[in-house]
Amino acid sequence: MLSYARGPNLPLLEKTIGQLLEDAAGHNPSGDALISRHQGLRLSYRDLQSEVERTARGLAGLGIRPGDRVGMWAANCAEWIYLQLATARIGAVLVNVNPANRSHELRFVLGKSGMKAIFLHERDSRANYLEILEDARRAQDLPLAHSILLGSDGWPNMLDSGVEPPPHFPSVHDVVNIQYTSGTTGTPKGVLLTHRNLVNNGYLIGRNLRVTPRDRLCAPVPMYHCFGCVMSSLMCLVHRMTLVLPSPQFDALAALEAVQAERCTALYGVPTMFIAELEHPRFREFDLTSLRTGIMAGSPCPVEVMRRVVTEMHCPEMTIAYGQTESSPVITMSGTDDDVAIRVSTVGRAMPETEVKIVARDNGATLEAGERGELCTRGYLVMKGYDGEPEATSRTVDSEGWLRTGDLATMRPDGCFHIAGRLKEMIIRGGENIYPREIEEFLHGHPKIADAYVVGLPDLRLGEAVLAWIKLKDGESSTEDEIRDFCRGRIAHFKIPQYIRFVESFPMTVSGKIQKFRIREHEIDARGLSRAAGIETA
């Protein structure tokens, strides 16, 4: 049996994002569409349609026309949703800008995307964004014509100066969104995504979760990331359900409060978010029994964390989804009725209308089931390409339309997939291939460990050595010897961490993805391994 699977056949939606909003406002006008708790806003679908129309007119008043790029550089807020839908309505392209970007990164995105307008808050507790923008624009000729401040006169002034947008007849194949890859290696790339990519991914995710207009999603994930702007906002729109934004940035207490107060039936998050909620000192105070389902995704999902979410958070139908920005994003997903063993040990099966295969790294041949190789996918979900980078696009998407994910995976005989980690994260210690994900899953079985991440460090003798950063549960203490004793006899000796550091937190992106390259950089410097790091290897 070859490692190839195709999800069920299902008619796809041939609708634009604007058409989805018209449908939702027509069929569910008084239903709750958007609740932004930190802004005190509650909008029905009729209200949301009105705000989007006002925003579309405001954009037209700025001179934004079909094909123009418009940037949103902000934490979660209602305006994020208005702008996402309004740009799609008039044929503009929304550029998601990471709120963590500072002048160097912002300068790159402004220049690369060629955006004509950018929307931002002047400041928050993390940064003065207006100063960062001014620094990014200094000594660089950019097409940026408008910078509109949210939460001040800038936004209402734009709305008051609105004009009727010129007629526009969009195609489902038009690019509607540019999202930038994380850029952990090399410079970030702008992923071009179409109405058809995004609408159908949101549609199929919702079908898999079995949602209806009565469902209410608590989404503490960032809107700038595909977890927020596709899996959250567009999924809610296509299924005419309620989107609840608990806070601007992730806050475990705000998320728990939102679930209880709004009687949310679904909850999203990356593993670190669920861990923070489960470990919050007030966790037991909240009634979470309204929860039914949700998605844990964005980074490897520890087995023990999944089990606790299913039981302690009353989420019997919690699922795991796997994908990446270039695939709109979800490729595989577990089902709400899968038994717990499948949900905690795999990332589920190929989504409808999606092909998945596992190929050999050297020659691209499809491997036998159970063999480890690179996961590739094909179908409606594959991006249109990287913005202005045809060579990078052709390296990632082959002539037959297969997207190479760069992830190591295996396919089981039952069609479920297991992700072993990133190709680039594999540790080679003395000729032995070591997959960090495997060690991380094992460490999560220690009763004192709340979270753990494993990376390879340069070693003069072995090539690489195993390092584990470990966060203990509140009130617990441990030693390196205790952790190694836990490993001995239970995992291969060469997988036992040579280096261990106990930490309070991990370096991560705004979306909650762990930045392992920063862990590695810190340790190379702290342990004086620069000489070993400088040795070239094959």
Per-residue pLDDT reduced to its tens digit, 260-296: 999 999 999 988 899 899 999 999 999 999 999 999 9
Residues forming beta bridges with residue 357, ordered by sequence position? 4, 376
The pTM of the full predicted model, rounded to 2 decimals, is: 0.85
Task: Give me 368's structure tokens.
Answer: 């036998």
Provide the CATH topology of domain 1-16+194-421: Rossmann fold (3.40.50)
CA atoms in the 13 A half-sphere facing the CB of 71: 31
> Residues 57-86: what's their mean pLDDT?
98
Asked if pLDDT for residue 183 goes beyond 50, the answer is no
Are residues 291 and 313 in contact, defined by beta-carbon separation less than 8 angstroms?
Answer: yes
Please tell me the predicted confidence (pLDDT) of residue 258: 98
Please tell me the predicted confidence (pLDDT) of residue 299: 67
Asked if pLDDT for residue 163 goes beyond 70, the answer is yes
User: Within 10 A of 518 (CB to CB), how many other CB atoms are there?
Assistant: 14
Helix (H, G, I), strand (E, B) or coil at 128: strand
Please tell me the predicted confidence (pLDDT) of residue 344: 80
Instruction: Give the range with max mean pLDDT: 233-242, 494-503, 515-524.
Output: 233-242
> Residues 162-172: what's their mean pLDDT?
95
pLDDT range class, residue 86, cuts 50, 70, 90: very high
Please tell me the predicted confidence (pLDDT) of residue 216: 98
| Contacts (Cβ under 8 Å, ≥6 apart) of 142 | 110, 111
Alpha-carbon distance of 396 to 6, in angstroms, equals 20
CA 260 to chain CA centroid, Å, is 24
Please tell me the predicted confidence (pLDDT) of residue 538: 28
Asked if pLDDT for residue 116 goes beyond 90, the answer is yes
> Residues 104-125: what's their mean pLDDT?
93
As a three-state string, the secondary structure of 262-296 is HCCCEEEECHHHHHHHHCCCCHHHCCCCCCCEEEE
Please tell me the predicted confidence (pLDDT) of residue 211: 98
Would you call the peptide bond into 222 cis, given omega within 30 degrees of 0 as the criterion? Answer: no
Provide the CATH topology of domain 426-533: GMP Synthetase; Chain A, domain 3 (3.30.300)
> Residues 491-507: what's their mean pLDDT?
92
Q: Which CATH architecture has domain 45-170?
A: 3-Layer(aba) Sandwich (3.40)
Asked if pLDDT for residue 237 goes beyond 60, the answer is yes
> Residues 359-371: what's their mean pLDDT?
94
Per domain, the residue ranges of the chain are 1-16+194-421, 45-170, 426-533
Q: Same CATH fold, 426-533 and 1-16+194-421?
A: no
Q: Name residue, tokens 């670190």.
A: 272
Question: Alpha-carbon torsion 199, 223, 247, 259, what sign?
Answer: positive
Alpha-carbon distance of 392 to 267, in angstroms, equals 35
CA 538 to chain CA centroid, Å, is 32
Asked if pLDDT for residue 185 goes beyond 60, the answer is no
Per-residue pLDDT reduced to its tens digit, 439-473: 998 899 999 999 999 999 988 777 789 999 999 99
pLDDT range class, residue 434, cuts 50, 70, 90: confident
Asked if pLDDT for residue 334 goes beyond 80, the answer is yes
Per-residue pLDDT reduced to its tens digit, 500-530: 999 999 998 776 778 898 999 999 999 998 8
Please tell me the predicted confidence (pLDDT) of residue 111: 94
pLDDT range class, residue 195, cuts 50, 70, 90: very high
**Antiparallel, parallel or unpaired: β 117-121 and 69-73:** parallel
User: Considering the chain, what percentage of its residues have pLDDT values greater than 90?
Assistant: 78
Please tell me the predicted confidence (pLDDT) of residue 182: 62
Mean pLDDT for the chain?
Answer: 93
Number of residues assigned to the chain: 538
17-27 and 78-90 helices, crossing angle to 10°: 120
pLDDT range class, residue 536, cuts 50, 70, 90: very low
Please tell me the predicted confidence (pLDDT) of residue 388: 96
Helix (H, G, I), strand (E, B) or coil at 305: helix
Please tell me the predicted confidence (pLDDT) of residue 537: 35
Instruction: Give the range with max mean pLDDT: 90-104, 229-243, 342-356.
Output: 229-243
User: Considering the chain, what percentage of its residues have pLDDT values greater than 70?
Assistant: 97
